[in-house]
Amino acid sequence: MATRQFTLPDVGEGLTEGEILQWLVAVGDTVTVNQPLCEVETAKAAVELPSPFAGTVTELLFDAGTMVDVGTPIITIDVGGDAPAAAAADPATTGLIGEPTASGRTAVLVGYGPRNTEARRRPRRGGESVAARATAPVVLPEADYGSGTDRPPLLATAPDAGTKPVRHGGLEVGRQAEAHALRGDAAASGGAAPGRGRLRPLAKPPVRKYAKDLGVDLTAVSGSGAGGTITRADVDAAAAGASTGSVVQGAFGTGSPVGGETRIPIKGVRKHTAAAMVASAFTAPHVTEFLTVDVTRMMKLRARLAARPELADVKVSPLLFVAKALLLAVKRHPMVNSSWDEAAQEIVVKDHVNLGIAAATPRGLVVPNIKDAGRLSLAELAGALADLTATAREGRTSPADMSGGTITITNVGVFGVDTGTPILNPGESAILAFGAVREMPWVHKGKVVPRQVTQLALSFDHRIVDGELGSRFLADIGALLHDPGAALAF
- In the DSSP assignment, the letter for residue 68 is E
Task: In whole angstroms, give the CA distance from residue 110 to residue 369.
Answer: 21
Asked if residue 209 lies in contact with residue 167, where contact means CB atoms within 8 angstroms, the answer is yes
Chain centre to alpha carbon of residue 305: 29
Task: Specify the long-range contacts of residues 112-116, CB closer than 8 Å, at least 24 apart.
Answer: 112/34, 112/50, 112/52, 112/87, 113/34, 113/50, 113/87, 114/34, 115/34, 115/35, 115/36, 115/48, 115/50, 116/34
Task: In whole angstroms, give the CA distance from residue 37 to residue 444.
Answer: 62
217 contacts: CB under 8 Å, gap ≥ 6: 211, 247, 248, 249, 254
- In the DSSP assignment, the letter for residue 230 is B
- In the DSSP assignment, the letter for residue 436 is -
- Beta carbons within 10 angstroms of residue 63's beta carbon: 14
Asked if residue 193 lies in contact with residue 63, where contact means CB atoms within 8 angstroms, the answer is yes
Task: In whole angstroms, give the CA distance from residue 36 to residue 58.
Answer: 16
Buried b (16+ CB within 10 A) or exposed e, 389-415: bebbbbbbbbbbbbbebbbbbbbbbbb
- Would you call 352 a catalytic residue per the annotation? no
> Considering 286, 333, 352, 462, which one is annotated as catalytic?
462
Nearest 5 degrees, angle CA 353-CA 356-CA 360? 175
Chain centre to alpha carbon of residue 449: 41
Q: SS3 of 363, please? A: coil
Task: In whole angstroms, give the CA distance from residue 164 to residue 359.
Answer: 18
Query: Regarding beta strands 30-31 and 17-23, do their DSSP bridges make them parallel or antiparallel, or are they unpaired?
Result: unpaired
Residues marked as catalytic: 462
